[in-house]
Amino acid sequence: MKVLVIGCGFVGARAADLLHAAGHEVFGVTHSSTSAERLAAEKPWPVLTCDVSSLESVQALRAQAGPVDALIHCASSGRGGAAMYQTVYVDGMMHLVTAWPDAWPLYTSSTSVYPQTDGSTVDESSHADPDRDTGRLLRAAEQIALDQGGTVARLAGIYGPGRSFILKNLLEGKSGVEVAAEAPDGRLLNQIHAHDAAAAVVHLITHRHSGIFNVVDDAHMTQRACLEALATLFSVPVPGVKPPDPGRKRGWSHKHVSNARLRATGWIPAYPDYLEALQQDPHLVSSILAEVLEAREAEFPRAENIVLIGLMGSGKSTVGRFVARLLGFQFADTDHMIVNRAGCSIPEIFAREGEAGFRKRESAVLRELLGSRRHVIATGGGIITQPVNLPLLRHLGFITWLEAGTDLLVRRTPSNNDRPLLRGEEPPRVKLERLIQERGPIYKSLADLRIQTDDLTQEESAYGVAESARIFFAKRGV
Ligand code: S3P
């Protein structure tokens, strides 16, 4: 099938990727030449530029791309109001179906067309007569696709790596539970992971399902329940209540949007529940933490744990156990967690899945540790080699780098039965020296405290860690 994907943003680019991977011929279309250049450099599919609000521009695109089997309108109105909705959505849709009268059109609309505020469950047969201009314009654009016998995908609130307003606002202390008389626990949330939104669009167009489909996950969650769960997971205060924000882009609403019709076509969401997606998606939490860290490092939420980093043999597990005993904290060891979950040893994991498989498991246990409090967490020496782990480590607690000279490291890692990295061709001493060179700068950039342990007993190191952590958390009022 030959498909035009108009608008290569958060959902469009993913849809184009999925179509391309499935062997379809895809053209990505974007408004600006800068994003066209960026996408063309990154993506395996060709990218064209077009301003869909102009019929001439769409006709030029028609001449370039030739006939197509299907077109997906995924373009965004940016931050524009009703005027942009008119030109990008309504006029744009009309221009596209005029230029390709025989192509199957799919229009990506929004569940904000349902104005219900009574907490009821809405499906595609429920009334969708928005009380706002923007909503009415979405409906007009939908109608153009429907009149052609095409498809309308009504997308819920989209989140994914680099985008989760709920989590970002919470971490930045800007959240509140928006309560109203009919929504005492805040409004009902209707969300969809960007991957699932793109997969739904591709599913609908490749199977030629016509009509309207809600694209939303399976969760039934009030804003309060979601924020309380997130507050526990990220060790931040539960936000207070506030009145509904009249400026919300999608308007005030309180309804549960059903995905039953889409599910009946065989679509299965990979991320059926937002809270589970935080654990499932390796990039989601890390990307949001990274944004918050960059914007406001001083107020970045740090959980009340102690995280030990450093090379193998630096004493993380032994010192960690002492620290835990001194402070009455629990002890966790990422290597042990990985072995428990996998049901086999680290060398076996390396042998079966390679180092890459081991690193994936290591990142997953780090996400599992979200929500822990009063733990001492000893980490594997290489955990810092994966950039995705760094924001999580920083969030998880007070970070201590245990340093030791090569002689001591070599003495402490004698048999290396459990350390596949020291069993390669390079002699252990040479390998350890190279790892110090490679990893030292990363340990340094992460560490709140650095302890040179060569001349200390492991108890003495533990006292240093415990005391410094106590001061660190006291200063932050923990
Ligand atoms: C590794 C260190 C090990 C273990 C794995 C890889 C590394 O943990 O995670 O063998 O890359 O340095 P320790 O630091 O606890 O030995």
CA 327, CA 299: separation in Å to the nearest integer?
25
What is the Å distance from ligand 1's center to 432 Cα?
11
pLDDT tens-digit profile of 193-230?
A: 999 999 999 999 999 999 999 999 999 899 999 999 99
pTM: 0.94
CA 465, CA 232: separation in Å to the nearest integer?
25
Is 403 in contact with 451 (CB distance < 8 Å)?
A: yes
Is 320 in contact with 402 (CB distance < 8 Å)?
A: no
Which atom of ligand 1 lies at the shortest distance from residue 313's CA? 16
CA 365, CA 359: separation in Å to the nearest integer?
10
What is the Å distance from ligand 1's center to 463 Cα?
24
pLDDT higher at 1 or 476: 1
Pocket residue to mutate for ligand 1, from 365, 383, 421, most atoms within 8 A of Cβ: 421
263 pLDDT band, cuts 50/70/90, is very high
Question: Looking at residue 425, what is its pLDDT?
Answer: 83
| Average pLDDT estimate for 413-441 | 87
| Average pLDDT estimate for 69-81 | 88
Is 284 in contact with 233 (CB distance < 8 Å)?
A: no
What is the rounded radius of gyration, in angstroms, for the C-alpha atoms of the chain? 26
Question: Looking at residue 477, what is its pLDDT?
Answer: 81
Three-class HEC string of the chain? CEEEEECCCCCHHHHHHHHHHCCCEEEEEECCHHHHHHHHHHCCCCEEECCCCCHHHHHHHHHHHCCCCEEEECCCCCCCCHHHHHHHHHHHHHHHHHHCCCCEEEEEEEHHHCCCCCCCEECCCCCCCCCCHHHHHHHHHHHHHHHCCCEEEEECEEEECCECHHHHHHHCCCCCEECECCECCCCEECEEEHHHHHHHHHHHHHCCCCEEEEECCCCCEEHHHHHHHHHHHCCCCCCCEECCCCCCCCCCCCCEECCHHHHHCCCCCCCCCHHHHHHHCCCHHHHHHHHHHHHCCCCCCCCCCEEEECCCCCCHHHHHHHHHHHHCCEEEEHHHHHHHHHCCCHHHHHHHHHHHHHHHHHHHHHHHCCCCCCEEEECCCCHHHCHHHHHHHHHHCEEEEEECCHHHHHHHCCCCCCCHHHCCCCCHHHHHHHHHHHHHHHHHHHCCEEEECCCCCHHHHHHHHHHHHHHHHHHCCC
Question: Looking at residue 192, what is its pLDDT?
Answer: 98
Is 160 in contact with 140 (CB distance < 8 Å)?
A: no
470 pLDDT band, cuts 50/70/90, is very high
| Average pLDDT estimate for 323-329 | 98
345 pLDDT band, cuts 50/70/90, is very high
Pocket residue to mutate for ligand 1, from 312, 340, 350, 366, most atoms within 8 A of Cβ: 312
Hey, whose CA ends up nearest to atom 16 of ligand 1?
Answer: 312
| Average pLDDT estimate for 141-161 | 97
Specify the residue for token string 């209707």: 190
249 pLDDT band, cuts 50/70/90, is low
| Average pLDDT estimate for 164-182 | 93
245 pLDDT band, cuts 50/70/90, is confident
Question: Looking at residue 406, what is its pLDDT?
Answer: 94
Question: Looking at residue 57, what is its pLDDT?
Answer: 98
Share above pLDDT 70 across residues of the chain, in percent, rounded to a whole number: 98
Question: Looking at residue 40, what is its pLDDT?
Answer: 94
| Average pLDDT estimate for 432-436 | 94
Q: Is the pLDDT of residue 143 over 80?
A: yes
What is the Å distance from ligand 1's center to 388 Cα?
17
Residues with CB under 6 A from ligand 1: 312, 316, 335, 346, 380-382, 419-421
Is 100 in contact with 60 (CB distance < 8 Å)?
A: no
Question: In whole angstroms, how far apart are CA 289 and each of 174, 292, 398?
Answer: 15, 5, 16
What is the Å distance from ligand 1's center to 344 Cα?
15
| Average pLDDT estimate for 352-379 | 97
416 pLDDT band, cuts 50/70/90, is low
CA 117 to chain CA centroid, Å, is 29
Question: Looking at residue 105, what is its pLDDT?
Answer: 98
| Average pLDDT estimate for 449-467 | 97
pLDDT tens-digit profile of 296-313?
A: 888 899 999 999 999 999
What pairing do the DSSP bridges indicate for beta strands 398-403 and 449-452?
A: parallel
415 pLDDT band, cuts 50/70/90, is low
What is the Å distance from ligand 1's center to 329 Cα?
23
Which atom of ligand 1 lies at the shortest distance from residue 316's CA? 15
Q: How many CB atoms lie within 10 A of CB 106?
A: 27
Share above pLDDT 90 across residues of the chain, in percent, rounded to a whole number: 88
260 pLDDT band, cuts 50/70/90, is very high
Is 186 in contact with 179 (CB distance < 8 Å)?
A: yes
130 pLDDT band, cuts 50/70/90, is confident
| Average pLDDT estimate for 428-436 | 93
Short-list 107, 95, 20, 18, CA closest to 62: 95
* Average pLDDT along the chain: 95
